Amino acid sequence: MKIFPRKNYIIRKSVNLSKETHILASNLDQAILVITLKRPTIYYEFIDRFLITSNAYQIPTTIVFSKSDTYLKEELDEIELLRKIYFNLNINCHLITCHKKKDILKILDLIKNKTTLFSGNSGVGKSTLINYLNPKLNLKTQSVSKSTNKGQHTTTFAQMYDIDKNTRVIDSPGIKGFGLVDMKKNEIYRYFPELLEASKKCRFKNCIHIDEPGCEVKKRLLTGEISSHRYESYINLIHDKKTIR
């Protein structure tokens, strides 16, 4: 057996008391974060936690909003809002449904000749999408619970599959919570590119952008240049004791 050196990996801290860290996947070219708005419900902060981790490990990430066939007009507007926030941060977003050939072709194009991790909450449709990418795979899928609006943790371990000779995907179990590993409170903003950029103009070098005078981040938040959703994620992370050293 040949063991290749690990190029990169996505790590997460368990949200239960064991405080274990798990390596989600290694030797990746990119990650696709699959998101649904309502079934299951998305928490915006979850997206940012994922992006911080993939940014820290230098794994290019694309957001795929799935189940587009299920959304009402207001929900499509909400997705458009999110798409704009992330597009401004150079993160591509796609809105797809597994039921449209052209959407599947778009994803096939995105993953061509690469190794791609599919990640996201349980029930967002990772395995379903992979089945459409290669119908021979026939991975197990299961409906989202009507009573809790949550997925049923159908995929139980991460596994790599071939789509064609040079294209591989990793299906992974739905993520429940997402703790961050090894980040100091005063360096978290560095993983938010727009906060990092603004921080260069903060009056104090050690500004953590909460209530310091002359804070450029707070200024840009007021003008809308920095999204309030993103700032809220940042503040929640700062206060998350499980996350922070």
Reference 170, options 188, 185, 157; nearest CA is 157
Q: Between residues 32 and 195, which has the closer beta carbon with respect to Zn ion?
A: 195
Determine phi and psi for 167, rounding to 5 degrees: -120, 120
Q: Between residues 92 and 152, which has the closer beta carbon with respect to ligand GTP?
A: 152
Site pattern 93..122 for ligand GTP (x: CB under 6 A): ----xxx----------------------x
Cα–Cα dist 26/9, whole Å: 4
Q: Would you tell me which residues interact with Mg ion (CB under 5 A)?
A: 126-127, 154-155
The reply on whether position 215 binds Zn ion by CB under 5 A is yes
Q: Which amino acid is at 215?
A: C
Q: Which residues inside 27-86 make contact with ligand GTP, applying CB under 6 A?
A: 66-67, 69-70
Cα–Cα dist 123/112, whole Å: 25
Instruction: Report what 119 binds from Zn ion, Mg ion, ligand GTP, none; CB cut-off 5-8 Å by kind.
Output: none
Instruction: Report what 215 binds from Zn ion, ligand GTP, Mg ion, none; CB cut-off 5-8 Å by kind.
Output: Zn ion
Q: Between residues 13 and 67, which has the closer beta carbon with respect to ligand GTP?
A: 67
Distance of CA 40 to the CA centre of its chain: 15
Cα–Cα dist 198/220, whole Å: 8
The reply on whether position 123 binds ligand GTP by CB under 6 A is yes
CB of 176 to ligand GTP, least distance (A): 10
The reply on whether position 173 binds ligand GTP by CB under 6 A is yes
Q: Which residues inside 132-171 make contact with ligand GTP, applying CB under 6 A?
A: 141-144, 151-155
Residue 167, class by beta-carbon neighbours within 10 Å (0-12 exposed, 13-18 middle, 19+ buried)? middle
In our burial notation (b when 16+ CB lie closer than 10 A, e otherwise), range 135-150 reads eeeebebeebeeeeeb
Cα–Cα dist 3/216, whole Å: 47
Residues at the contact surface with Zn ion, assessed by CB under 5 A: 202, 207, 209, 215, 217
Residues at the contact surface with ligand GTP, assessed by CB under 6 A: 66-67, 69-70, 97-99, 122-128, 141-144, 151-155, 173-174
